[in-house]
Amino acid sequence: MHDLTRRTLLQGGTALAAGAALTGPALLDFARAWADTSPWKPEAGAKLTLMRWKRFVPAEDDAFNAIVAAFSKATGTEMNVFSESFEDVQPKASVAANTGSGLDMAWGLHTLPQLFPTKVVKMNDVADYLGKKYGGWTDAAAKTCKLGDDWLGIPVATNGGYMNYRKSAVEKAGFKEFPKDFPGFLEMCKALKANNTPAGFALGHATGDANGWLHWVLWGHGAYTVNEKDQVIINSPETMKALEYCKALSDTFIPGVASWNDSSNNKAFLAGELYCTLNGISIYVAAKTDPTKKELAEDIYHALHPVGPIGKPTELQLALPILAFNFTKYPNAAKAFIAFMLEKEQFEKWLEGAQGYLTQNLNAYESAPIWTADPKNTVFSQASKRTLPASGIGTPGEKAATAIADFIVVDMFANYCTGAKDAKGAIVEAERQLKRIYR
Amino acid sequence: MADLALAPQRARLEIREATAWDRLKHNRNWLGFWFMLPALGFLIFFLAYPLGLGIWLSFTDTRIGRIGQFVGTENYEWLWDDAIFWLSVFNTLLYTFVASAFKFAIGLYLALLLNENMPFKAMLRALVLIPFIVPTVLSALAFWWIFDSQFSIISWSLKHLGLITQNINFLGDPTWARICVIFANIWRGVPFVAITLLAGLQTVQPSLYEAATLDGATRWQMFRHITYPLLTPIIAVVMTFSVLFTFTDFQLIWAMTRGGPVNATHLMATLSYQRAIIAGQLGEGAAISSAMIPFLLAAIMISWFGLQRRKWQQGENND
């Protein structure tokens, strides 16, 4: 029996993509030439220890390792890379920041560099260099990494999640194309349910999926957990509207969403029981690489999140920033490495290896071949442009990260949608929890 | 006279006065202290120190990777009117009481059954232990699949039998979810109770039953007046352990529901983990963990004082 997690689902698709990663001499030649002209000269005998999150797509890891190897050969920098699971990256980086040893660089999640602004190497020159060369940084990416005018880290990529749907079911429900606004989306979900081809979005403690779509619904109504000054403003009429909308939506869902974790919708979708959900590209990749699921893969399409009443995209996508600690002995090597891996010659191949799992934060890469190689990849190229920082309109930082990790928004919606609490009660509980975190 | 007076003095000089060191050297308690020192060291470093550190952390605003400031009882004050915390306390008590009661009833029943003479006795006794042997996380994952909202074998079977038309929302409905996790805990905990009580049953002398049979006692009277009284000390110990294990359960819940749906199955242990490790607020998580101590102490006290009573030990009204 297969354990259908996102990771194993993607493993099938890797043999194919592994061949695509830039390898061998070509990459090395480029690396040598690049090292000669680079604005950052690695210190002699530099050694860098880099911690990254554990990959979900093996081909992405291969591409990343090829970049590391080329950089190491061209500059003589000794690179020591190890990976940790999503949950462990932040604690370990915090310990390194705290003790001033163990790591030179950390590549993590959300707003990692904001957790220890005094312990990182300022990356202003790297950000300027890359920004100028590649069409500038996306808004959310810059906010995630900047404190005032200083760059605390470099937003390497974003992990995007979008609407996954079965075209046949949506068409049968009377929609030629995927709805673009909230009322249309609700109508479609109602029609899907009536046809017994239901949609389903996680209302359980699913870190990625549940937080992703519920923050989108909340923000889409113009409601936020905290304002620009980090004052708790969840108790608002806008939140009430978001709750009502979400309730109406959840009434159309496949039963059981309150118990879903991050892999539940993947399983249900691939089993043909679920016809619309929010997910990364992994469902499609899994279907595409499974010969028995050919028909399903052809029927799967992706769409952007419909835009809420406030009239602009309010998605929550997962930012993946990298940072260098200021206690490293080799800050120039660290800067050189970061700049190197984001150069076109590496980065486009890397995106290809990731098969849509990673999205650029530099505007120029929107034209990277991966996004047009398969038209169904295209929407994922928008992830970093259409997302808000994890903090919404508040300050990106550890409190915002805590609120997400503690499922405050998820529980608020789930409380109301499952009937465990009335709307007022659900909001008051969330407000109380937010005040605990933002005290 | 002078000679006589001098002689014993000389003798006394030859037998040296026992110094404090001499006395200490031959003091059995002193020796005993040194023999106990390694054990004491283990207890301090691996039990007392972590416990003390946990309690200290609960009075600080420590986050993962950052040393916190002392904040007094602030964490506890925030917990005091935190609805989710109290829900987790309620869940924990419900979980512990219901699961322990069932575990005791089923465990005792199984023990009595296994104590009878029957074919394949040894094999059956071994089989009963299986749920206890399987690693908790594995059995939790199995239950997670059994109770899955889309792929539950139970829903599937009932649907094919035509008894229901829709999947049962096992882990998505608060009441069902509580029943499911309690069921899984009972399934896992029964063997421990059953086998330990079986061991207790086998210490009861058969002659007592023979005497009772001669006196014309019924099966129920034999159980009520021989088996049960002689079993009480074992029951007290077993149930104390069972309650402690159930109260501090973590793996089953975390693997099956992560405290969901909407915190309906969040136990104090899982909430503590979510706040301390996942959300990074070590101080607050430590406060939730520390809040478990009074409950656990109460459970231990009950059995401790119970065990001191002769009535419990001997099952007679002679205390």
pLDDT attached to residue A12: 42
pLDDT attached to residue A188: 95
Query: Residue B63 domain-assigned?
Result: no
Say if CB B164 and CB B158 are below 8 A apart: yes
Say if CB B280 and CB B68 are below 8 A apart: no
Domain boundaries, chain A: 6-159+318-380, 162-316+406-437
B298–chain A nearest CA distance, Å:
30
pLDDT attached to residue A27: 76
Say if CB A369 and CB A355 are below 8 A apart: no
- Write down the residue that tokens 């590649």 correspond to: A134
On whether both B50 and B155 belong to a single domain, the answer is no
Say if CB B234 and CB A366 are below 8 A apart: no
Say if CB A144 and CB A157 are below 8 A apart: no
On whether both B128 and B186 belong to a single domain, the answer is yes
Answer whether A91 sits within 8 Å of B280, measured CB to CB.
Answer: yes
Query: Residue B210 domain-assigned?
Result: yes
CB under 8 Å to A57, separation ≥6 — which residues? A10, A13, A14, A17, A353, A354, A355, A357
pLDDT attached to residue A7: 46
A102 neighbourhood in chain B, CB within 8 Å: none
Task: Please tell me the number of Cα atoms within 13 Å of B72 on its side-chain side.
Answer: 3
pLDDT attached to residue B288: 95
Nearest by CB: B66 against A94, A429, A433: A94
Residue A118, amino acid: T
Alpha-helix residue ranges (DSSP H) falling in B257-291? 268-273, 282-290
CATH code of B123's domain: 1.10.3720.10
A97 neighbourhood in chain B, CB within 8 Å: 65
For residue A59, give the nearest of A262, A292, A281, A270 by alpha carbon.
A281
Question: Across A129-275, where does the E strand assignment appear?
Answer: 146-147, 150-151, 154-159, 162-166
On whether both B197 and B97 belong to a single domain, the answer is yes
- What radius of gyration, in Å, describes the C-alpha atoms of chain B? 29
Nearest by CB: B151 against A267, A401, A421: A267
Task: Please tell me the number of Cα atoms within 13 Å of A332 on its side-chain side.
Answer: 12
pLDDT attached to residue A19: 39
Q: In a mutagenesis test of the A interface, which of B150, B179, B266, B288 is the best target, namely the one with the most A β-carbons within 10 Å? A: B150
Q: How far is residue A332's CA from residue B204's CA, in Å, rounded to a whole number?
A: 78
Total domains present in chain B: 2
On whether both B110 and B184 belong to a single domain, the answer is yes
Answer whether B278 sits within 8 Å of A87, measured CB to CB.
Answer: yes
pLDDT attached to residue B23: 84
Alpha-helix residue ranges (DSSP H) falling in chain B? 2-14, 20-25, 28-43, 49-57, 74-80, 83-115, 121-128, 130-133, 136-146, 153-160, 174-201, 206-214, 219-222, 228-247, 251-256, 268-273, 282-290, 292-308, 310-314
A372–chain B nearest CA distance, Å:
35
Q: Which two tokens stand for residue B187?
A: 């399934």
| Cis peptide, bond prior to residue B261, ω within 30 of zero | yes
Answer whether A91 sits within 8 Å of B263, measured CB to CB.
Answer: no
Nearest by CB: B260 against A95, A205, A401: A205
pLDDT attached to residue B313: 54
B112–chain A nearest CA distance, Å:
39
Task: Decide whether A6-159+318-380 matches A162-316+406-437 in CATH topology.
Answer: yes
Q: Are strands A47-53 and A78-84 parallel, antiparallel or unpaired?
A: parallel
B102-158 pLDDT per residue, tens: 999 999 999 998 888 888 888 888 888 888 888 888 898 899 999 988 888 998 999
Q: Which two tokens stand for residue A201?
A: 């979005």
Answer whether B278 sits within 8 Å of A260, measured CB to CB.
Answer: no
Answer whether A420 sits within 8 Å of B83, measured CB to CB.
Answer: no
Domain of residue B32: give its range.
2-57
pTM of the model: 0.83
- What radius of gyration, in Å, describes the C-alpha atoms of chain A? 22
Q: How far is residue A150's CA from residue A114's CA, in Å, rounded to a whole number?
A: 11
Which 138-167 residues of chain B touch chain A by CB within 8 A? 148-151, 166-167
Report the percentage of chain A scoring pLDDT > 90: 64
Q: In a mutagenesis test of the B interface, which of A120, A211, A259, A438 is the best target, namely the one with the most B β-carbons within 10 Å? A: A259
Instruction: Identify any residues that bridge with A320 across adjacent strands, giving them in sequence order.
Output: A157
Query: Residue B126 domain-assigned?
Result: yes
On whether both B82 and B52 belong to a single domain, the answer is no
On whether both B52 and B120 belong to a single domain, the answer is no
pLDDT attached to residue B314: 56
Edge-to-edge strand ranges of the sheet holding A105-107: A78-84, A47-53, A105-107, A318-324, A154-159, A359-360
Q: In chain A, which stretches have pLDDT less than 50? A: 1-22
Q: Phi and psi for A302 in degrees, rounded to 5?
A: -120, 150
Say if CB B139 and CB B184 are below 8 A apart: yes
On whether both B98 and B175 belong to a single domain, the answer is yes
DSSP per-residue codes, B144-176: HHHT-TTT-HHHHHHHHTTS-SS---TTTSHHH
For residue A105, give the nearest of A321, A318, A319 by alpha carbon.
A321
Residue B89 touches partner A, C-beta closer than 8 Å: no
CATH domain A162-316+406-437 topology = D-Maltodextrin-Binding Protein; domain 2 (3.40.190)
Answer whether A259 sits within 8 Å of B260, measured CB to CB.
Answer: yes
pLDDT attached to residue A2: 40
Interface of A with B (CB under 8 A): 87, 90-91, 93-98, 203-205, 254-261, 264, 267-268, 271, 273-274, 398, 401-402, 405-407, 411, 414-415, 418, 420-421, 429, 432-433, 436-437, 439
Nearest by CB: B262 against A258, A268, A405: A258
On whether both B190 and B304 belong to a single domain, the answer is yes
On whether both B120 and B37 belong to a single domain, the answer is no
- Write down the residue that tokens 């194993």 correspond to: A8
Nearest by CB: A255 against B169, B174, B279: B169
Q: Which two tokens stand for residue A277?
A: 């959900």
Task: Please tell me the number of Cα atoms within 13 Å of B165 on its side-chain side.
Answer: 1
On whether both B137 and B206 belong to a single domain, the answer is yes
B-chain residue closest to A409, CA distance: B262
Nearest by CB: B281 against A91, A271, A402: A402
Q: What ipTM is given for this predicted complex? A: 0.79
Looking at 3.40.190.10, 3.20.20.70, 3.40.640.10, 3.30.450.40, the CATH number of the domain A6-159+318-380 comes to 3.40.190.10
CB under 8 Å to B35, separation ≥6 — which residues? none
A-B C-beta contacts closer than 8 Å:
121
Answer whether B280 sits within 8 Å of A90, measured CB to CB.
Answer: yes
B257 neighbourhood in chain A, CB within 8 Å: 204-205, 259
**Helix (H, G, I), strand (E, B), or coil: what is residue A278?**
strand
The DSSP secondary-structure symbol of A19 reads T
Query: Residue B319 domain-assigned?
Result: no
Q: Phi and psi for B281 in degrees, rounded to 5?
A: -95, 80
Q: In chain B, which stretches have pLDDT less than 70? A: 1-14, 65, 307-319
A98–chain B nearest CA distance, Å:
6
Answer whether B169 sits within 8 Å of A98, measured CB to CB.
Answer: no
Q: Which two tokens stand for residue A422?
A: 């009335």
On whether both B226 and B275 belong to a single domain, the answer is yes
